[in-house]
Amino acid sequence: MKKNYLMTPGPTPVPPEVLLEMARPLIHHRTPQYQEILKKVNEGLKKVFKTKYDVMTFTSSGTGAMEASVVNLLSPGDKAVVVRGGKFGERFGEIMTSYGMEVIPIDVTWGKPVDPKSIKAALDKNKDAKAVYTTLCETSTGTMNDIRAVGEVVKNYDAALVVDAVSGLGADDLDTDAWGVDVALSGSQKGLMLPPGLAFISFSDKAWKLVEKSKAPKFYFDVKKYKKSLEKTDTPFTSAITLFIGLERSLAIILAEGMGAVLARHRKLADATRRAMQALGLELYSSSPSDAVTAVHVPAGIDGGALVKTARDTYGVTMAGGQAELKGKIFRIAHLGFMENFDVIVAVSCVEIVLKGMGFKIELGKGVRAAEEALLK
Ligand code: PMP
């Protein structure tokens, strides 16, 4: 027998009551019954996004919302500032290049947060930049950017601020409207505790002005279609009915706990994970660690790929390895979504057991103890 524990920064575990809700017989999406669900989901999403603006939903993974943020705000030839501090920041640039936009890159050392002053400098130099694209939690490095400080800078310019909160939403705070975030986007398979398949995006008034001017080609991701449908509590295309039904339930769970409590829980789990790793003599990868995921340096002499593989194949604990240039160099433990104290204990204990088995000098229980002490605080 083997029990599996999903501890990756997406997909994340789905609560049993959400799974059961999604197992019910299908209903049709153009019915009053479904409209009730749409209404609740749209209201719930606004609360989680902390925005008064509509949050639109696509049937796609998170990258669909990233693409939508590019093709709806910009036109070919337009300039946009892109913070590149990891794989997902880079993806914004790749999307823009494929649509013929000009990327003004801000290359940030991986594992470090963006310095808002560098954004100010880029905007001062490129007054015609239409938008600034950045990431709340750069999942590939486990780094959280200070979006509030970035918003303070960008609000003084014409450029709109776009934030990829695919993995950060519900773990790292995002006060969309209060912080001047014009476009916030996310996906279903992370803090929202659902399977993959939905992507979300909100637009401020400043962003809608850019939408009116955008000449980039688009059809499925044309946000005007979604806005028009939303006004009639409808969706422009066949809705991902099952996922919406699950979302209604997962939003109810989140909002019953309260956004403040949800964020505090993530902070506590993240803190316990970080303390545990440090107690084991391991080094955190990020200087600004996210509360969604903890990235840890693979210690010298240990095969990082084998560490993650052994945890998964021998012990049933699926963590994430490093991506791109970090392959084999870090491992990542998520504490995101449907997670609580004992999930952290499982992950920490597994790291101890695997490292011990690989010959790393470790005192069993030292990390677990540090985590327990942090969780009891
Ligand atoms: N941005 C971030 C920060 C992410 O973590 C991810 C997924 N790991 C994405 C974008 C892309 O989302 P998806 O894989 O759902 O397309």
User: Measuring CA to CA, which residue among 131, 138, 145 is closest to residue 166?
Assistant: 138
In the chain, the amino acid numbered 246 is: G
289 close to ligand 1 (CB < 6 Angstrom): no
Q: What is the DSSP letter of 114?
A: P
User: pTM, whole model, 2 decimals?
Assistant: 0.98
The span from the CA of 65 to the CA of 71, in Å, is 10
pLDDT tens per residue across all 377 residues of the chain: 889 999 999 999 999 999 999 999 999 999 999 999 999 999 999 999 999 999 999 999 999 999 999 999 999 999 999 999 999 999 999 999 999 999 999 999 999 999 999 999 999 999 999 999 999 999 999 999 999 999 999 999 999 999 999 999 999 999 999 999 999 999 999 999 999 999 999 999 999 999 999 999 999 999 999 999 999 999 999 999 999 999 999 999 999 999 999 999 999 999 999 999 999 999 999 999 999 999 999 999 999 999 999 999 999 999 999 999 999 999 999 999 999 999 999 999 999 999 999 999 999 999 999 999 999 99
63 close to ligand 1 (CB < 6 Angstrom): yes
270 close to 277: Cβ distance less than 8 angstroms: no
Task: Indicate the length of the chain as a whole number.
Answer: 377
CA torsion 254-34-11-342 (nearest 10°) is 30
8 close to ligand 1 (CB < 6 Angstrom): no
Dihedral of alpha carbons 240, 40, 22, 48, sign: positive
How buried is residue 156: exposed, middle or buried, by Cβ count under 10 Å (0-12/13-18/19+)? exposed
The per-residue pLDDT for 60 is 98
85 close to 135: Cβ distance less than 8 angstroms: yes
Top mutation candidate among 90, 166, 192 for ligand 1, by most atoms within 8 Å of CB: 166
304 close to ligand 1 (CB < 6 Angstrom): no
The per-residue pLDDT for 358 is 97
Residue 264 CA to ligand 1 center (angstroms) comes to: 23
106 close to 119: Cβ distance less than 8 angstroms: yes
CA Rg value for the chain: 21
The per-residue pLDDT for 368 is 98
User: Measuring CA to CA, which residue among 76, 56, 85 is closest to residue 184?
Assistant: 56
The per-residue pLDDT for 89 is 97
Could you give all domains of the chain from N- to C-terminal order, each with its CATH number?
Answer: 5-10+259-375 (3.90.1150.10), 16-256 (3.40.640.10)
Task: Calculate the alpha carbon distances from 286 to 76, 140, 165, 202, 283 in Å.
Answer: 35, 10, 18, 28, 9
- Residue 138 β-bridge partners: 143
Residue 167 CA to ligand 1 center (angstroms) comes to: 7
The per-residue pLDDT for 1 is 83
Residue 68 CA to ligand 1 center (angstroms) comes to: 14
